[in-house]
Amino acid sequence: MRISFGELRIGDIARQRIQASLEKNWVSGGENVAEFERLFAAHFGYRHAVAVSSGTDACVVSCATLYGLGARRGDEILVPACSFVATSNAVLAAGFTPVFVDVELETLNIDPARIESAITPRTRAIQVVHTMGKPCEMDSILEIAQRHGLTVIEDACEAHGATYKGRVVGTLGNLGAFSFYAAHLICCGEGGMVVTCEDALAREASSVRSHGRPCGDIYFDFQRFGLNAKMNDLEAAIGIDGLAGFDEVFETRKRLLYRLLDQTRDLEEHAHFLVEAPHEKVAPHAFPLVLKDPRRDARALYKFLETRGIQCKTLFGSLPTQHRAFSFLGHQLGDFPVAEYIGENGLHFGCHQYLSDEDIDYAAEALHDYFAKA
Find all residues with CB under 8 Å of 96, minimum gap 6, and list them: 63, 66, 71, 73, 74, 75, 76, 77, 124
Contact by Cβ (8 Å): 363, 3 = yes
Closest C-alpha among 373, 322, 329 to residue 346: 322
Contact by Cβ (8 Å): 292, 272 = yes
Contact by Cβ (8 Å): 53, 229 = yes
Contact by Cβ (8 Å): 96, 66 = yes
Calpha distance 343→359 (Å, rounded): 27
Q: Spot the catalytic one: 48, 184, 285, 348.
A: 184
Calpha distance 163→172 (Å, rounded): 9
Active site residue 184: yes
Query: Which residues face 176 on adjacent strands?
Result: 154, 195
Active-site annotation, residues = 184
